[in-house]
Amino acid sequence: MNKKIALVGCGIWGQNILKELIILNSEVHVFETNPALRDTAIKLGAVQFSDGLPSVNDNFDGLIVATPSTTHRPVLEKLAGLDIPVFLEKPLTTNLEDALALRELSHDDIYLMHIWLYHPGILMLKDIAQSKELGNVLGVRSTRANWTSPRTDTDSVWNLSPHDITIAKAVLGYIPDPKSAIAECHHGIIRGLVALLGDDPYCIFEVSNRYERKVREVRIHCEKGVAILEDEKVDAIKIVRGDAASDPKKMEIEFRKFDKTPPLRFEIREFLDFLNGGATPRSSFEDGLEVIKTIHDIVELAK
């Protein structure tokens, strides 16, 4: 059954969400404070463009919130009375205070959009880790970097690291405790950070807005080899078999293909299926809160 969806926010990422909703035959009503985006939203398939927020009289089946992350608390507070399932773009908030305040709301029907939880490459890494075909996992390493950022309302840590923390949990089954962190600050704003979580297995990730190129790499280091997602747009996992004693002149490499369907489509489809009576989306409000608490602890360590 096609669903009537309110999309709150139609910026860069909101437009991508709108496209996927239209592909999946949803009736989409866009709510956006920037009137300059009206023509774009209508051309992409929205049936209506409004400013403000949805009201209780609109009878929507579901809400998708894609506003800037710093606005999530006030937006969700205003939507709280609608009693409609909400799919919220990550992160939940950009500070722990706002996240804990939202916990006081009725949040059972708030779910987090973490696109990497739907990426076939990440799901393949998870399968490799859990199957132990390369032995026990020693650690998860990831790098998420680019040159500056279109997001000016928050820093690199709150913008980028929710992905890496969520990926680590997907692969390991839990978020390791933060151990240490080093931040690169420019005029008091974090523009890069390296963090270490756990020890056996460990998680090391780097986020930065100071790389001259875009990097999106995730690696799982195991006893008998390494599995790598080299970029978000590749179509295969690279598996290098061997251990610390392997001959450096010999390298056994396998490329394992995966489905190239955009992960955003899987993500949106899961929410629509849920609205039609299917299973709940895979990332709950409490999952989102756990990520915020972890980032908070990492930033405190970096200080």
Question: What is the widest separation between alpha-carbon atoms in the chain?
Answer: 68
| 92 and 123 in a common domain | no
82: in domain:
yes
In a domain, 138, yes or no: yes
- Residues 32, 10 contacting (CB under 8 angstroms): yes
At residue 73, the pLDDT reads 97
Same domain, 152 and 78: no
Q: Note the pLDDT tens digit of each residue in 225-238.
A: 999 999 999 999 99
Within a domain: 296: no
110-113 and 86-89 beta bridge pairing: parallel
Judgement on whether residues 226 and 277 belong to the same structural domain of the protein: no
Res 151: pLDDT: 79
In this predicted structure, the answer to whether residue 208 has a pLDDT above a threshold of 80 is yes
CA 46 vs CA 3, 18, 126, 186: distances in Å: 13, 8, 36, 40
pLDDT tens-digit map of 62-77: 999 999 999 999 999 9
pLDDT at 1 over 80: no
- CA–CA distance, 158 with 101 (Å, rounded to integer): 18
Q: Cα separation of 108 and 125, whole Å?
A: 30
| 173 and 54 inside one domain | no
Same domain, yes or no: 49 and 88: yes
Q: Is the pLDDT of residue 138 over 90?
A: yes
According to the model, what pLDDT value does residue 107 have? 80
**Residue 255 shares a structural domain with residue 145:** yes
291: in domain: no
Q: Is position 71 within any domain?
A: yes
% of the chain residues with pLDDT over 70: 100
How far apart CA 168 and CA 175 sit, in angstroms, is 6
19 in the same domain as 106: yes
Per-residue pLDDT at 291: 98
In a domain, 288, yes or no: no
Within-domain flag for 297: no
CATH number of the structural domain spanning residue 183: 3.30.360.10
Span 148-162, average pLDDT = 90
Question: Same structural domain for residues 144 and 89?
Answer: no
Q: How far is CA 112 from CA 23, 89, 239, 254, 281, in A?
A: 21, 6, 30, 34, 8
pLDDT of 106 above 80 = no
On whether both 106 and 130 belong to a single domain, the answer is no
Domain extent for 208: 117-260
Give yes or no: residues 157 and 270 share one domain.
Answer: no
Confidence band, pLDDT 50/70/90 cuts, at residue 13: very high
CATH number at residue 30: 3.40.50.720
Q: Are residues 127 and 170 in the same domain?
A: yes
Strand 86-89: give its sheet, edge to edge.
48-50, 27-31, 4-8, 62-65, 86-89, 110-113
- Residues 119-129 as b/e (b if ≥16 CB within 10 A, e otherwise) read bbbbbbbbebb
Rounded Cα gap, residues 53 and 74, in angstroms? 11
User: Is 72 in contact with 88 (CB distance < 8 Å)?
Assistant: yes
Kindly report, residue by residue over 32-90, the tens digit of the pLDDT: 999 999 999 999 999 999 998 998 888 999 999 999 999 999 999 999 989 899 999 99
302 within domain boundaries: no
Q: What does pTM read for this prediction?
A: 0.95
Total domains in the chain come to 2
pLDDT at residue 237 in the model: 98
Q: Strand, coil or helix: what is 226?
A: strand
Domain check: are 21 and 144 in the same one? no
